[in-house]
Amino acid sequence: MIALYTALAEALRRDPDLVYLCTWQSPKFVEEFGPERIRTMPIAENAMLNFAVGLAAAGLRPVVDLARAAFLFTAMDPLVNQATKLRYMTGGQYSVPLTVRAQTRAGESLGPQHEHVPYAMLAQIPGLVVAVPGSAQEAAGLLATALRHPDPVVIFESPVLLAEAPEWDGAPIAELPFGRAHVTRPGTDLTIIAIGLAVRHSLQAAALLAQRGVSAMVVDVRTVAPLDVTGLAEAAAATGTVLVVDEATAPCSVASEITARLVTAQAVAPSRIRQLNALPVPSPFSPVLQREVFPGPESIELQALALLDGRSVT
């Protein structure tokens, strides 16, 4: 069992009010926790979220596994208009301790309707925590924190990172705080701030840059709401040169927000920061085209070198 499912199992054992709603059943989970708590749901995401909001308002702690992040688009009303508003509208009489798991793109050639990274859209919603872990271990730690949180949390998970995760060694899962970025690799010449799967690609790019004598720091944003502006500003100021890598397209993206915040905070000069986003097109089916659309180790390396040299790359 990988760390993320270990975190879920630990929470199920600890909290009898926790229920898991999914469109498939893990035989091990059903055997240990029973079908009343591990519920197989119809493939109707709007109904799943509405059901979960009702369970949470009634005092339970539901976890909804939506599989693909694209399915959130069919369930925005219960998440945005109900789950994130009930505490506010009832003056704290109700809370909605709801956790939603949603997988982003993974180069699986699932096409434009199934490969999405919509975390910037949800980062605008007050009352909602939006986590985008940069590794399987980070996903487990953020999930462990979400399963104690009193308000709604959406965790966007990369299938690539989960697929590469080793079997967990059985140690308790350490909870990771929301709103605190993490330096995954130190560096002195350049700060690469990355989100989700882009953290893995940035670490690979940092290794390539090291072969050229460039010392690149890599920072995992972890949560885009709340956003650790202070921590990111400190990482930016440490090198004075910043590349922000985001698999989402540029308009109204988290990368754009980070860039604006860092420049406003005077953590980095406007000429010393650049962002690398996906091209503004739907996700192609073709793996060859996907490599051209989304940031990867080679494109990150290229942009980093150009930024350090004061050149522009299109």
Can you tell me which residue has the tokens 């130190």? 186
Residue 31: phi and psi, rounded to 5, are -60, -40
Topology of the domain comprising 3-163: Rossmann fold (3.40.50)
- Same fold yes or no, 3-163 and 182-309: yes
- Contact in structure between 33 and 12 (CB atoms under 8 Å): yes
SS3 221: coil
- The model carries a pTM of 0.94
What is the pLDDT tens value at each position of the chain, 314 positions in all? 688 888 999 999 999 999 999 988 778 889 999 989 999 998 899 999 999 999 999 999 999 999 889 999 999 999 999 999 999 999 999 999 999 999 997 667 778 888 889 999 999 999 999 999 999 999 999 999 999 999 999 999 998 888 877 777 777 888 999 999 999 999 999 999 999 999 999 999 999 999 999 999 999 999 999 999 999 999 999 999 999 999 999 999 999 999 999 999 999 999 999 999 999 999 888 888 888 999 999 999 999 999 999 877 66
Query: Pick the catalytic residue: 114, 116, 149, 201?
Result: 114
pLDDT on residue 47: 94
CA nearest to 250, candidates 157, 156, 314, 161 = 314
Distance CA 264, CA 269 (A): 9
CA-based radius of gyration for the chain: 20
C-alpha angle with apex 225: 120 to 68, nearest 5 degrees? 50
Q: How long a stretch of residues is the chain? A: 314
pLDDT on residue 162: 83
CATH architecture of 182-309: 3-Layer(aba) Sandwich (3.40)
Domain boundaries, the chain: 3-163, 182-309
> Is 149 one of the annotated active-site residues of the chain?
no
